[in-house]
Amino acid sequence: MKDKLLACCLLLMLALPFAARAELVVEVTQGVDAPTPLAVVPFGSSGTAALPEDIAAIVSTDLERSGFFATMKRADMLSFPSQQNQVYFRDWRVSGQNYLLIGRISSTGGQQLDVVYELYDVLKEQRVFGEQISGTTGNMRDIAHYIADQVFEKLTGVRGAFSTRIAYVTAQSRGNGQHLYQLQLADSDGARARTILESREPILSPAWSRDGSKLAYVSFESSRPGIYVQHLASGQREKVQSFPGLNGAPAWAPDGQRLALTLSKDGNPEVYVLDLAQRQLTRITHHYGIDTEPTWAPDGRSILFTSDRGGQPQIYRVYLADRRIERVTFEGNYNSSGKLTQDGRFLAMVHRSAGAGAAFNIAVQDLKTGRLDILTQTSLDESPTIAPNGSIVLYATQEGNRGVLAASSLDGRVRFRMPASSGDVREPAWSPYLQ
């Protein structure tokens, strides 16, 4: 039995890389104290051949990963209802469930299918809501993430972000100090990873346009750093900036027409804004120190950036109208790579506390109260990126000798990690909501 299990595991290990490379697997390491118990029953299907995806399993995993739900194991379910008249609420209540999600899939010819799902309140024995969705066998994962979004929003009041994607960079050693760098794009659960750029030279700082259609990033493919913009649908890309010196840290303005970036063409790193249509470059900062890592406030009126003008890297804000600058972070001796939530209230950043040998952690500062909370206990944490619903900050860290992605809710209650099958994973960038 043990051997059989081992053989299965090995087979799986061998098969996975063919299915999708460097795919990330989510492991929840800490959830909320009292997650809501919820059962997602395998969806019934009629008139369909074997379906390529298990919608209920994807919905269940999404909700579990959020940390807010404890989902019931299939093996523990007494029945697999797919419509209301098959539901015996008492059974679900006895097994401790608060909510029940059921559904059914019917083929409507060829690749077309209809999916109906219904959410029930087990304690009230009431239907909470339900919906019918039309799709194809090719987009069943999208349908599943959509359902998870709807359930999450209905039960938590927070918009779900399961239908979003993440971009990240992987690095694989090729021996002799050579590496292969890949810019990858995956669903928010790490599935369907695909490589959109591959190079033997470093790739870093991927940044999503606000409409989710483009990525800007830094690539050293020409043996110097250049800023590129790649259209995700067509794969078409262009080099938008390549001056002598640094070309880095691209950040899209909310209007999607401009990029903030770092150039050192005038002698030292300064923040600039590039108007993409006009090809017009405006210098924003003027200081002999390092000014870099710009990030836009959601209203587009100010830019936050990292500067060592005070002796150590701290985050500052510059108002574009009058170029007034104010310091934002004060705690600790290293604060950088700031990212704001969509409402502009919380700032996630890389933070190092004062004191010798302190680690680099991810921290979040409430800009309204000034309160700073350290979210991680590891070291060498970097590249924070926030889910569009402001619930989770995803970041890169070291585990053993490998770079992995990990995440924490902004309140620190929920944590998960996303190890890849091989290589270093780094530089995550969470997409905005996608249409």
Partner 1 sequence: MRALKVTKVAALALTFAWIAGCSSTSTQTDSADMTGGMGGTDGAMSSGMGDSGSLSGSSLPGAVANLQTVFYFDFDQSTVRADSFADLEAHARYLAANPQAQVRLEGHADERGTREYNMALGERRGNAVSRFLMVNGVGNGQVEVVSYGEEKPAMMGHDNGSWSQNRRVELKYVN
**Interface of this chain with partner 1, residues 205 to 264, rule: CB under 8 A:** 205, 219-226, 228, 230-231, 234-239, 244-246, 248-249, 262, 264
| 280 lines the binding site for partner 1 (CB under 8 A) | no
Mapping DSSP to helix (H, G, I), strand (E, B) and coil, where does residue 430 land? strand
- Locate 362 and state its tokens: 């991810």
The DSSP element (H or E) to which 10 belongs, if any, is helix 2-19
| 286 lines the binding site for partner 1 (CB under 8 A) | no
- Locate 370 and state its tokens: 């000034």
| 21 lines the binding site for partner 1 (CB under 8 A) | yes
Q: Contact region for partner 1 (CB under 8 A) — 48-56, 134-142, 154-162, 286-294? A: 286-294
Strand order in the sheet with 270-275: 247-252, 258-263, 270-275, 280-283
Residue position matching structure tokens 């936050």? 304
What is the largest distance, in Å, between two alpha-carbon atoms of the chain? 73
Tell the smallest beta-carbon distance from residue 138 to partner 1 (Å).
17
Residue position matching structure tokens 């579990």? 64
| 124 lines the binding site for partner 1 (CB under 8 A) | no
Interface pattern 150-179 for partner 1 (x via CB under 8 A): ----------------------x---xxx-
| 311 lines the binding site for partner 1 (CB under 8 A) | no
Which of 256, 250, 169 is closest to 210 using CA atoms?
A: 256
Residues 391-410 that bind partner 1 (CB under 8 A): 398, 401
Give the whole-angstrom CA distance, residue 226 versus residue 313. Answer: 24
Among 45, 337, 376, 391, binds partner 1 (CB under 8 A): 337
Tell the smallest beta-carbon distance from residue 280 to partner 1 (Å).
20
Among 152, 208, 252, 360, binds partner 1 (CB under 8 A): 360
Tell the smallest beta-carbon distance from residue 366 to partner 1 (Å).
21
Among 39, 70, 143, 197, binds partner 1 (CB under 8 A): 197
Q: What are phi and psi of 150, to 5 degrees?
A: -65, -45
| 377 lines the binding site for partner 1 (CB under 8 A) | no
Nearer to partner 1, 151 or 407 (CB): 407
CA atoms within 13 A of residue 351's CA, in its CB half-sphere: 22
Nearer to partner 1, 105 or 396 (CB): 396
Give the whole-angstrom CA distance, residue 218 versus residue 125. Answer: 54
Q: Contact region for partner 1 (CB under 8 A) — 65-73, 101-109, 191-199, 319-327? A: 191-199
- Locate 354 and state its tokens: 């004062």
Say which DSSP state 79 is in: -
In the beta sheet, which residues pair with residue 319?
302
Nearer to partner 1, 296 or 334 (CB): 334
The DSSP element (H or E) to which 396 belongs, if any, is strand 392-399
| 435 lines the binding site for partner 1 (CB under 8 A) | no
The Cα-based distances of 70 to 16, 126, 168, 198, 388 in angstroms read 27, 20, 28, 38, 23
Among 64, 118, 142, 382, binds partner 1 (CB under 8 A): 382
Nearer to partner 1, 85 or 234 (CB): 234
Residues 6+ apart with CB under 8 A from 40: 56, 57, 59, 60, 63, 71, 72, 101
| 306 lines the binding site for partner 1 (CB under 8 A) | yes
Nearer to partner 1, 132 or 222 (CB): 222
Tell the smallest beta-carbon distance from residue 198 to partner 1 (Å).
5
Nearer to partner 1, 82 or 307 (CB): 307
Q: Contact region for partner 1 (CB under 8 A) — 97-105, 190-198, 273-281, 322-330? A: 190-198
Nearer to partner 1, 231 or 327 (CB): 231
- Locate 266 and state its tokens: 């005038």
Nearer to partner 1, 7 or 94 (CB): 7
Tell the smallest beta-carbon distance from residue 334 to partner 1 (Å).
6
Nearer to partner 1, 146 or 360 (CB): 360
Q: What are phi and psi of 426, to 5 degrees?
A: -160, 180
Tell the smallest beta-carbon distance from residue 349 to partner 1 (Å).
9
- Locate 195 and state its tokens: 């490589």
No. of H helices and E strands in the chain? 4, 31
Mapping DSSP to helix (H, G, I), strand (E, B) and coil, where does residue 136 land? strand
Tell the smallest beta-carbon distance from residue 122 to partner 1 (Å).
41
Among 269, 332, 390, 428, binds partner 1 (CB under 8 A): 269
Q: What angle do CA 419, 420, 424 make, to 5 degrees?
A: 95
Chain-centroid distance, C-alpha 237: 23
